[in-house]
Amino acid sequence: MNRKEFLSEKSVRYCCEDHFDVDNDTQNFMRHRIAGGRLLLKKDVIPHKFACQKTKVVTQERSAVAKRRRAEYYEKVLSKEVPASVAQKPIEFIECVQSDEVIKDPDSPIFVPMDCFDVDVEASVKIKTKKKGTQVHIMGKKKIKDVKQNSGRKILNLQAMKYSKATTLIDFETRGLMPPVFTPLNDDLTINYAAIPGYAKYMAEAGFKCVLVGGTTGEHMSLNVADRKKVIEEWVKAGRSTGLHIQVQVGGAPLPDVQELAAFCQKNGVGSILTLPELYFKPSNVDELVSYVALVAGAAPKLPVLYYHIPSMTRVEINMPAFVTEASKKIPNFAGIKFTSNDLSEASQVLRAMSEKKALFLGADTLLAPAALLGIKSSIGTSFNLFPKIAHAILSAVQNKDVETARALQHKLCLAIESLTKEGPWVPVMKAGMEIVTGIRVGPPSLPQKPLSSEAIERIRGRLRVLDVA
């Protein structure tokens, strides 16, 4: 073919790929062609602009070149030794639900259509040879097969935890009062698993439909993973016999442990999970927090996942209305938030930012009535363990528009809580109060917290007796 114009800097933008070294110059060609700059060619090779390219603005890559690049990419993957640190971690691979094409470019080997979520998959990539060219075809199914390349067959097994439109999410319709349960301990600080069935029965008889396991009240941040799993198993068993929805807080540990607990919850019949943020390398903005919660949610894609906002303990102070907005868009199984803060202004903003399908649980026992008047009618509170009748009566009064009764009951609950907290930190005083008020012994707090003295316990008993709540 004849050249259509004299050589110039402009003419190199449409260099025929047959006139330079594909193996050595491809990356340079792709970079500089897009940028419109010069191109490094083989020695003594002159770039041409051909008639066939006269009307082309962006030339499509020839199929043979694309196949060759894909083949080179897989050859690199299969030939590399995987370090031990990486071998223990699942390799991410994306299942394409509505597209036959997954591999797009060696530099960006994974292509995800916008309407394609991730899914639990085990991918087998098979590679086989053909003399002329290389055929690469990856089907968007649960088993990914038929990627063909040079000499023989090699298999690369990939595993990943991903979301999919096909993944069936458990509906989260739990609302109302949710007591966070204590972890019963013996005097030697071993876990008293035998106390859990009776504890669950008490909760069900007190009118609760759900409980939170492993929250601040449950002290799971002080337990190892094995103990946390055993506690979860016992509560799931108790939940089945009593009809309680079991929500489990999985955070407060290194991310791999948090993900392991989340996956364990999904496998063992937990109804929903709650997660704290990363506690050491803390997220500093909305995107970082959404990314972290997504990592946890991805380990249990069928379970509703809620975020545990408790800035007084975590020191993670991020705009929650903005967070729930982004999390709702980017995390398919995001189901809501536990908002443990006295900032009812921000809480009401969170409520408006979320759809009705998402849940907002307030974590401020002393603000149960005013929050309910703002429309926040779901709450998680430690004091509900001790004073279930008062808590239920407050919500009932608000629902019946009896503001004076709601105010009086809230005042009584606040006085009861203050009579406890005068003697020490939240969990130790609440554990002591649980036995005083209900007779259910949940034991001392876990280390490093310390139990109350016998004198402090007697002072609490006297105050509660005066309030007629013990």
* Annotated catalytic residue, options 49, 148, 162, 338: 338
Residue 179 has pLDDT above 90, yes or no: yes
List the chain domain ranges.
11-60, 64-160, 177-466
In the annotation, is 229 catalytic?
Answer: no
| pLDDT single digits (tens) 274-295 | 999 999 999 999 999 999 999 9
Q: What is the pLDDT of residue 65?
A: 72
The tokens for 298 are 């991805």
pLDDT in tens, 1-38: 444 444 444 444 444 544 545 555 555 555 544 444 44
Confidence (pLDDT) at 33: 47
pLDDT band of residue 116 (cuts 50, 70, 90) is: very low
Indicate left, alpha or beta for 46 from its phi (over 0: left) and psi (-120 to 50: alpha). Answer: beta
Q: What is the rounded distance in angstroms from the CA atom of residue 232 to the CA atom of residue 238?
A: 10
* 360-376 pLDDT per residue, tens: 999 999 999 999 999 99
For the ranges 58-67, 153-162, 316-325, the lowest mean pLDDT is seen at 153-162
Task: Please confirm, yes or no, whether 338 is among the known catalytic residues.
Answer: yes
Q: Name residue 352's amino acid.
A: R
Q: Which of 148, 308, 377, 431 is catalytic?
A: 308
- The predicted-structure confidence for 452-461, as pLDDT tens digits, reads as follows 999 999 999 9
pLDDT of residue 12: 44
CATH 3.20.20.70 fits 177-466, yes or no: yes
